[in-house]
Structure 1
């Protein structure tokens, strides 16, 4: 299973390379519109900067992406930034690198390395958040069958989010969406056999952990 990652909260990191200042801002976004809004806000904050270069990736599997050199030589800023994001399997992410020129030219190779390093430095500030689609279910069963079910759920890597003990046992369980068919097959077989009842998926939308 290939996972994708983003940042949980906005983050920023400043580095200096040959007297130029590079400030990388990263933010979680869910659409191109949100990415463009963030890019505009950073550009407005740094109106006097020499360049505000950017790259973003959106879509569940990072299928939509774009970048801009914002006046730097073609291919020296936006593409290196995008390459770094993709190398970390990121999506739902936007990166803006603001450059304040320090008077020393870096050259083509130097620019490529500088913009890539700026993004890498911001990513390294904190562990990335894994994006996972979660399916949730509610399972109700008699006490006598509970140990058997718990054993099966453990083997499938199912997370028990909550449990209520009343006349019967009720578990709120969660599983990654790609493993949901196996869980549903097992629960359906037990339900058909009169061992338990279940509802779900209750919330098939994307969640993060």
Structure 2
């Protein structure tokens, strides 16, 4: 079985992208956005609904999380699985996550049929993802460490040698640091810090 620590990278897009696809008079306005949570997704979808209030459909799909475990596809009134699923399929086939793709359709007067719709939404999603820059990111483990002032030198020695990202820190009689390190190096950092006397470590999850 594959160790998750060996697969601690994932792909997303660097910035929003746009594209236009046309099929038998219908226009498909295609948008892709890097996203990290469902609140942001709702904001983007609602903004497009308002901007293109007279469009026939606003179909979309998204994936969230380093492994894309959270996802959704929405047909917005198109026949079942003819819009959202083909859009999601492009995200899956390209291995892209933390991304929202919205396709706004203006009906052109000629019905495309189920196969035609599936192909049109697939090509629309492909067109906008072709415009987007695909980037690789690391899966990082994030945790909080708390320790007494007397342990400061030991902790800072580990931080200097292991070089985790220090997201937050507070040094007083009781010290606290929020650290982030790529998943493949998490175990080594945990092991080093666990040897610091009096240190308490709390895992906050992967990002």
Q: What TM-score do you get using the length of structure 1 for normalisation? A: 0.67
1:73-106 CA-partner distances (Å, limit 9, x unpaired):
1110011111111111122111110011111111
Separation in 1, partners of 2:183, 2:80? 41
1:34-59 CA-partner distances (Å, limit 9, x unpaired):
11111111111111111110111112
What is the number of equivalent residue pairs in this alignment?
A: 176
- Secondary structure of the residue aligned to 1:48 is coil
CA contact (8 A) 1:3 1:89 kept: no
Report the CA distance between 1:206 and its aligned residue: 6.8
1:23 is aligned to 2:67: no
Q: What residue is the counterpart of 1:201 in the other structure?
A: none
- Secondary structure of the residue aligned to 2:14 is coil
Q: What residue is the counterpart of 2:170 in the other structure?
A: none
1:116-136 CA-partner distances (Å, limit 9, x unpaired):
110111111133121213579
Q: What residue is the counterpart of 1:8 in the other structure?
A: 14
Separation in 1, partners of 2:123, 2:9? 23
Q: What residue is the counterpart of 1:177 in the other structure?
A: 183
Separation in 1, partners of 2:13, 2:43? 17
- Secondary structure of the residue aligned to 2:116 is helix
Separation in 2, partners of 1:88, 1:116? 12
CA contact (8 A) 2:90 2:126 kept: yes
Structure 1 segments of 4+ aligned residues over 4 angstroms from their partners: 182-185, 204-207
CA contact (8 A) 1:133 1:205 kept: no
Separation in 1, partners of 2:123, 2:10? 21
Unmatched 5+ stretches in structure 2: 1-6, 143-154, 164-179, 194-203
Q: What residue is the counterpart of 1:167 in the other structure?
A: none
Query: For 1:189-204, what aligned pairs fall within 5 Å after superposition?
Result: none
CA 1:87–1:12: 2 relative to 1, 3 Å: same
Give the counterpart of 1:96 among 97, 102, 107: 102
1:160-187 CA-partner distances (Å, limit 9, x unpaired):
xxxxxxxxxxxxxx974214445787x8
Q: What residue is the counterpart of 2:49 in the other structure?
A: 43
Give the root-mean-square deviation of aligned CA atoms.
3.5
Q: What TM-score do you get using the length of structure 2 for normalisation? A: 0.68
CA 1:65–1:16: 2 relative to 1, 3 Å: same
Separation in 1, partners of 2:11, 2:101? 14
Give the counterpart of 1:131 among 127, 137, 146: 137
